[in-house]
Amino acid sequence: MRGALTEDVTLSVADLAGLPRQELGADFHCVAGWSATGLLWEGVNFGFVYRTRVAPLIVSGASISHVVFEGLDGHRSVVVLEDALADDVLIADRLDGGPLDSDHGAPVRLVSPSQYGFVSTKHLCRIEFRTSAPPLSDRWSPIASHPRARVWKEERHRRISGRVVRPAYRTLIGPIRALSARGSRTGAT
Ligand SMILES: Nc1nc2c(c(=O)[nH]1)N[C@H]1C(S)=C(S)[C@@H](COP(=O)(O)O)O[C@H]1N2
Ligand SMILES: [Mo]
């Protein structure tokens, strides 16, 4: 973990096992229309880690606004600090009673079930704490992801309303599921 901190913090998988554990029953919604229901996640509350390990190291006068979660495959999610500190945001290492498998983000992943799936970075390897929004690296795209991505507000995309794309995504659920089952996430953002 790094960013606007006086020093880097390293948290190993073993460290996580020793922190207060949280169980979280939740549904999970991909922005492209499919959902997984009734999941039981287990891990450490992100807010707990932030308050106990990160906050004491924030550079004096700095105010963290965004957190960037990075996966071993290069996937990145940018989360507004307020969203990251919600009660239901976990650094998870277990799902449905067993260790996370590689399909679902082993060894540890972020889980933020109130936000669309792309926020929940799998294979988490690095967390960066920022004092402003990182520059948008996306090429211009009509389906650029929404900065808050709150499911209850259907914040799927930055530029188009979630309700408008919903019917199109519905027709894609079948094909995307088939691709996902083969281990490819192409198009399934
Ligand atoms: N590292 C990494 N994390 C990722 C992704 C990814 O491609 N790489 N895809 C995201 C998207 S778009 C979704 S919907 C969920 C899917 O989680 P699952 O594979 O456990 O169903 O993971 C998210 N986290
Ligand atoms: Mo997704």
Q: What separation in Å is there between the alpha carbon of 59 and the centre of ligand 1?
A: 32
Provide the 3-class DSSP secondary structure of residue 19: coil
CA angle 87, 29, 33 (to 5 degrees): 160
Q: What separation in Å is there between the alpha carbon of 56 and the centre of ligand 1?
A: 31
Cα 83 to Cα 88: distance, rounded to the nearest angstrom? 9
CA proximity to 159, closest of 145, 138, 169, 170: 145
CB 91 within 8 A of CB 43: yes
Residue with tokens 């700095």: 62
- 37, 43, 99 from 96: Cα distances, Å: 11, 12, 8
Cα 189 to Cα 176: distance, rounded to the nearest angstrom? 10
The ligand placed nearest to the CA atom of residue 39 is 1
Nearest CA to ligand 1 atom 11: 118
Q: Which residues of the chain have pLDDT under 50?
A: 184-189
Q: Which atom of ligand 1 is nearest to the CA of 71?
A: 1
Nearest CA to ligand 1 atom 20: 104
Span 59-90, pLDDT tens digits: 999 999 999 999 999 999 999 999 999 999 99
What residues have CB less than 8 Å from 178, skipping those under 6 apart?
none
Q: What separation in Å is there between the alpha carbon of 110 and the centre of ligand 1?
A: 10
Span 23-36, pLDDT tens digits: 999 999 999 888 99
Instruction: Compute CA 44 distance to the chain's CA centroid, rounded to the nearest angstrom.
Output: 14
Q: Which atom of ligand 1 is nearest to the CA of 123?
A: 1
Q: Which residues line ligand 1 (CB under 6 A)?
A: 30, 71, 73, 75, 103-105, 117-118, 120-123, 185, 188-189
Q: Could you tell me the residue ranges of all domains in the chain?
A: 2-132+146-168
Residue with tokens 């389906």: 143
Q: Which CATH class is domain 2-132+146-168?
A: alpha beta
CB 123 within 8 A of CB 106: yes
Both structure tokens of 143? 């389906």
In this prediction, residue 175 carries a pLDDT of 84
C-alpha atoms less than 13 angstroms from C-alpha of 46 in its C-beta half-sphere: 29
Out of 40, 75, 77, 145, give the residue to mutate to test ligand 1, the one with the largest number of ligand atoms within 8 Å of its CB. Answer: 75
In this prediction, residue 2 carries a pLDDT of 59
